Amino acid sequence: MSTQPLPKRSSARNNRKHDPTTGLLDGVVETVPPQTLDGSEKDIVPRDLMYIGSYNWVDSPNPTIIVPGSPRIWRDMGMPMTVPLDSGTNFIDQNGHRMNNLTLLPLIRAVEDLTGQGITEKFDWPSADFIADRGRLRKLLAWSVGLSDQWRIDTQLAGANTVLLSGRAPVTKETSGRSRSYAFNYREASTYPVPGLENEYSHHRIIAYNFDGLRMVVRFEVDASLPYDTTPPSHSSYLPTSSKGVEKRRTLDPLDVRIIRAGSSEVPQTHLLEIKAHNTSMKWSKMYPQPYLSQTPYVYHASHDHGTFTHVRKFTLGQNELTEVEKDAQEGFKKLRKLLGYIKSLVLKHGAARISLVCEARILSVYRIPQGENCLPDDALALFVA
């Protein structure tokens, strides 16, 4: 006798604001136990890092990215300098805003297109253990060390080995004035775009590395790069932005990604930096995982008083003051590694049945996702079949 699908969650619960279980099937499958350490774990440092893709978003009614794109370039400004309070709306989750539930699709398309341009070698997708955004890894890390938050991460097994971690922020854009922040305007004033990308949006970079035995593919947003040679090289890694550069893919689904080939793949990982603008001291315990999980080497902390910036402290990952910060953070990284191992075994156990991880009040619960809902189209999922 066939089993009937579990009913959707009750409308009363779904009407609550930003309920992370909306659309999931009723009933907690299991609860994820806290990860503990036995003291034998070695410090974890991402190894064998390789750049595999990047892109910038284009403001277009149809999802359009520039590949490989380029981050904005840092410029040292004279101090003091004053910027106005942030205004208007800014993206919290641009991939989710433009792609709905197919948030990983631009990642796949960008990596594959760079191979098509002859810039990178073909990436071995079946060898990856996880495909994830840095932000979702940070959520898992925060839960591992007992920090309370509410979130949801949807999973899917791709091929026989790879776990996709996907999802969409409940709010993808915010009004800047509510936060009384100067950060966006400071970043705008202290950086400049490369020629040809003056009107394009955020730059997203995709890297692969070994995380204590797990091969991770991680996407993250880049604040800026140190200056590098932006002169177009003689080979095809730099192409001008033009309508002729649009690559027509098959008969495009409205939610597929259009690609404009422009920008530079010559941006070294060693030149990337995070820009932080605060009127208080840096809270490293919360912030350090951000550059660590993307191996962004520099953090520039700009201090201000009501928008007047007086100095910038420049930190280097793993050096000087950050040496002790990393030592303190290692417990969380080790717990994250154990949690990722647990999640992978959980996803493998469920196989084709998709599951979602929901964190509420520090409890991490597993729910089922209705059948037929995939986080990538079939042609992208086929890349993970060995």
What's the confidence (pLDDT) of residue 357?
A: 98
Mean local confidence (pLDDT), 194-207? 90
Find the Cα–Cα–Cα–Cα dihedral 116, 117, 122, 128, rounded to 10°.
-90
Mean pLDDT of 71-90: 90
Q: What is the mean pLDDT of residues 33-39?
A: 92
Q: Is the pLDDT of residue 6 over 60?
A: no
User: Domain map of the chain by residue range?
Assistant: 11-384
- Please say if the pLDDT value at position 347 is more than 80: yes
| pLDDT tens-digit series, residues 292-316 | 999 999 999 999 999 999 999 999 9
Question: Please, which residues have CB within 8 angstroms of residue 248's CB and are 6 or more apart in sequence?
Answer: none
Question: What pLDDT score was predicted for residue 181?
Answer: 86
pLDDT at 230: 59
pLDDT of the residue at 173: 77
Task: Please give the helix or strand (H or E) that residue 323 lies within, else none.
Answer: helix 321-350
**DSSP 8-state assignment for residue 245:** G
Residues in the chain: 386
User: What's the first-to-final CA gap in the chain, in angstroms?
Assistant: 34
Q: How many CA atoms lie within 13 A of 289 on its CB side?
A: 23
Contact call for residues 157 and 348 (beta carbons, < 8 A): yes
User: Per residue in 329-339, pLDDT tens?
Assistant: 999 999 999 99
Tens digit of each residue's pLDDT (9 = 90 or more) over 13-29 = 444 468 999 999 999 99
Residue with the bigger pLDDT between 203 and 89: it is: 203
> Which token pair is 195?
């020629």
Mean of pLDDT values over 96-110:
94
The three-point CA angle 305-309-315 to 5° equals: 110
- Whether 244 shows a pLDDT value over 60: the answer reads no
> Averaged over 127-150, what is the pLDDT?
95
Say what percent of the chain tops pLDDT 70.
88
Q: Are 170 and 22 in contact (CB under 8 A)?
A: no
Q: Dig out the tokens for 81 from the structure.
A: 């300098």
Model confidence at 238, in pLDDT bands (50, 70, 90)? very low
Q: Cα 121 to chain center, whole Å?
A: 22
pLDDT computed for residue 44 by the predictor: 96
| 133: nearest Cα among 222, 46, 223, 219 | 219
What pLDDT score does 247 carry?
Answer: 53
Burial of 160 (0-12, 13-18, 19+ CB in 10 A): exposed
CA distances from 40 to 37, 43, 213, 215, 344 (A): 8, 10, 16, 22, 22
CA 163 to chain centroid: 15
Q: What pTM was computed for the model?
A: 0.90
Return d(Cα 145, Cα 132) in angstroms, integer: 20
Say what the pLDDT of residue 310 is. Answer: 93
- Label residue 367 exposed, middle or buried (CB < 10 Å: 0-12, 13-18, 19+): buried
**What are the residues whose beta carbons fall under 8 Å from the beta carbon of 273, sequence distance 6 or more?**
74, 223, 224, 225, 226, 296, 297, 298, 299, 300
Q: Are 257 and 63 in contact (CB under 8 A)?
A: yes
- Considering only residues 177 and 133, tell me which one the structure prediction assigns the higher pLDDT: 133
Mean pLDDT value of segment 229-248: 44
